[in-house]
Structures are given as C-alpha cells and as structure tokens.
Amino acid sequence: LLTSGQLRFNYVNAEEAELMACREGLNSAIQLIYRLITLEAECLMICLPLKSKDENRSSLALQLKEVKLLSDELREVEFVHCNRNSNRVAHELANYACREMSSTVWLRCAPNFVAPLVELD
C-alpha cells in the first residue's frame, strides 16, 4: 500500500493536476513497489487516454505519453476510472496536503485519518 498527499501549484486545469498526480504515483511505485499497481483516477478524460493504445493529440499529449512510459517500467499497471463519490481517500489526502501545506508519502499503511475511508472506497 502506497499513499501520498502532494501539494502542487500552477496547474492549468483539473485534468493536468490529475495527470501529474498519476505521474507522481507511478514514480513512487517504480521505486517502492514491484507488484500489480492499480491507479485510480476520477477524471475520465485522463483515464481513457491512459488506457488507450491510440496516439493522443490533446494539449496533454506529452504528459500522457510520459505517464504511459512510466507505467511500462512496472510489471503491470491497471488504470481504473472511479467517480468522485468513490474516491474519498484521494479527496481527503488532497485536503490534508492543502491544510498542512506539505507533501507526505505513507508506505505499507494508510494514515489514520483515511484508514476508515480505505475500507469504504
């Protein structure tokens, strides 16, 4: 289990922020985890192109390609779309990063403040 809350600024839109969160998660997974990775994203407009084999020509094409290349370094990555109501852990981690004005990574356990939500999500 790898959990993180990252504080980042200057994204153009929610799609770019979600994509960069995917990139950071995969970078951490490459260094720390050697098994199947399930990466959940609530932004369908990011999840679909990450799952697709087709070339992307959107304004996020370079970032999408970078995330796909990172996923190739892992044994297996599954990109899963989940709606906002089913992604309360990510929402709470983002709120934590904003409140604390910091970025934190938890390895092998979820932080206490999201542990109950992990079971519900």
18-47 pLDDT, tens digit per residue, is 888 888 888 888 887 667 888 888 888 999
- Residue 65 pLDDT > 80: yes
CA nearest neighbour of 7 among 105, 75, 119, 116:
105
pTM of the complete model beyond 0.85: no
CATH class as words, domain 2-119: alpha beta
Mean pLDDT of the chain: 84
Among 3-7, 27-31, 102-106, the range scoring the smallest mean pLDDT is 3-7
The predicted structure's pLDDT at residue 59: 93
Q: Percentage of the chain with pLDDT > 70?
A: 96
The predicted structure's pLDDT at residue 49: 95
57 burial (CB, 10 Å; 0-12 / 13-18 / 19+) is: exposed
Sequence spans of domains, the chain: 2-119
The predicted structure's pLDDT at residue 57: 93
Comparing 118 with 44, the larger pLDDT belongs to 44
User: pLDDT confidence of 1, banded at 50, 70, 90?
Assistant: low
Give the length of the chain: 121
